[in-house]
Amino acid sequence: MASILLGCSHAQHLSLEGSNKAKIIIIQPFDDFEPELLPGLKQQLSNLFRAEVIINKNKSLPQALADKFGGKFPADSLLRLLEKEQTGRVVEVIGLTHKEIFIPKLLGGSSIPAIHPVRGYGYIAEGICIVSDHSLTSLDPRQTEARLVKATLHEVGHNIGLAHCSSPGCIMLEQSGDIVVLDKIAGSFCKQCKTQAN
Ligand SMILES: [Zn+2]
Ligand SMILES: [Zn+2]
């Protein structure tokens, strides 16, 4: 999922092929998100971007945010929470939660937004994203971890300026929201996306 933020002025961002040596990626787990789920993601991010990856201590999500939405958290509010971590050399902040997250969507004819569940959410070129593994868990923990990595890289892809891509197997496929597609794709950016992100 992606939204285009107009007038974005965040100057620094990760680059896929250039040097990110002085840049920091923060992983912010929320509530009871288990640290055991994180080493694979940390490794993938540092392999891909060669930036410093820091895993923050878990923080609690403000339950009040979800109270009016049946326990689901509005993804954009979570991005605003994560924004506070973007200081100094931190160019990317990734929030991780087990809770359900959603974006409000106005459906034709209605003035009351409907709750549209999403697995991840990040603005184009803004350096903050939130990923929920609520619908990613598998009986095989390795599969759960692989899905989490792919879903996160997709959102980070939006953060570094990529829109959805139609190359088969690319992590930026819009259809990767479908778990069957997510399991099939390799989990990397296609050539075209790599060029575009630099
Ligand atoms: Zn997307
Ligand atoms: Zn692509």
Query: What is the per-residue pLDDT for 43?
Result: 95
What total number of domains does the chain contain?
1
Domain at 25, CATH number: 3.40.390.10
Query: What is the per-residue pLDDT for 4?
Result: 52
Cα 64 to ligand 2 centroid, rounded to whole Å: 38
Query: What is the per-residue pLDDT for 3?
Result: 53
State the DSSP code for 2: E
Query: What is the per-residue pLDDT for 20?
Result: 86
Q: Which ligand is nearest to the CA of 122?
A: 1
- Give every residue of the chain whose pLDDT is below 50, as ranges: 5-11
**Beta-bridge partners for 121:** 130
Tell how strand 128-132 and strand 24-29 pair up: unpaired
Rounded to two decimals, what is the model's pTM?
0.90
Query: What is the per-residue pLDDT for 2?
Result: 60
Query: What is the per-residue pLDDT for 114?
Result: 85
Cβ atoms within 10 Å of 175's Cβ, excluding its own = 12
Cβ atoms within 10 Å of 139's Cβ, excluding its own = 6
Q: What residue numbers bound the domain in which 24 lies?
A: 2-196
Query: What is the per-residue pLDDT for 1?
Result: 60
Ion ligand 1 neighbours (CB, 5 A) are 1-2
Cα 190 to ligand 2 centroid, rounded to whole Å: 4
Cα 89 to ligand 2 centroid, rounded to whole Å: 27
